[in-house]
Chains A and B, each alone.
Chain A
Amino acid sequence: MKYLHTMIRVSNLDATINFFVSNFGMVETRRIDSEKGRFTIVFLAASEDVENANTHQSPVLELTHNWDPEEYTGGRNFGHLAYAVDNIYESCQTLMDNSVTINRPPRDGRMAFIQTPDGISIELLQKGDSLPKQEPWASMENTGNW
Chain B
Amino acid sequence: MRYLHTMVRVSNIQKSIKFFEMLGMSEIRRRDSEKGRFTNVHLAAKDDAETAKSVRAPTLELTYNWDPEEMDVGRAFGHLAFEFDDLYEICQTLMDNGITINRPPRDGHMAFIKTPDGISIELLQKGKSLTVQEPWASMKNTGSW
Interface-facing stretch out of A29-37, A64-72, A96-104, A134-142? A64-72
Q: Is the CB of A76 within 8 A of B70?
A: yes
Q: Is the CB of A79 within 8 A of B81?
A: no
Report Cα–Cα, A72/B24, bound state, in Å: 31
Q: Is the CB of A9 within 8 A of B63?
A: no
Q: Is the CB of B2 within 8 A of A75?
A: no
Q: Is the CB of A85 within 8 A of B1?
A: yes
Given known A59-B57, A77-B72, A123-B7, contact A3–B45 (CB-CB < 8 A): yes
Partner of B71, one of A77, A86, A91: A77
Report Cα–Cα, A47/B76, bound state, in Å: 24
Interface size class of B (residues with CB under 8 A): 35 or more
Q: Is the CB of B83 within 8 A of A4?
A: yes
Q: Is the CB of A8 within 8 A of B76?
A: yes
A120 at the interface (CB under 8 A from B): yes
Q: Is the CB of B73 within 8 A of A77?
A: yes
Q: Is the CB of B9 within 8 A of A76?
A: yes
Number of A-B contacts (CB under 8 A): 155
Given known A70-B75, A72-B76, contact A2–B48 (CB-CB < 8 A): yes
Interface residues of A in 90-118 (CB under 8 A from B): 91, 118
Q: Is the CB of B6 within 8 A of A80?
A: yes
User: Across the interface, which residues of B come within 8 angstroms of A127, CB to CB?
Assistant: 2
B4 at the interface (CB under 8 A from A): yes
Q: Is the CB of B45 within 8 A of A79?
A: no
Report Cα–Cα, A7/B1, bound state, in Å: 19
Measured CB to CB, the nearest residue on chain A to B6 is: A6
B117 at the interface (CB under 8 A from A): yes
User: Across the interface, which residues of A come within 8 angstroms of B61, CB to CB?
Assistant: 79, 82
List 16 additional contacts besides A2-B47, A3-B45, A75-B76; criterion CB under 8 Å. Answer: A1-B46, A2-B48, A4-B124, A7-B79, A7-B80, A8-B78, A73-B75, A76-B9, A78-B74, A78-B77, A79-B9, A80-B7, A81-B5, A82-B3, A82-B5, A83-B1
Residues of chain A having any CB pair with chain B under 8 Å? 1-9, 24-26, 45-49, 58-62, 64, 70-86, 91, 118-120, 123, 125, 127
Residues of chain B having any CB pair with chain A under 8 Å? 1-10, 23-25, 44-48, 56-61, 63, 69-85, 90, 117-119, 122, 124, 126
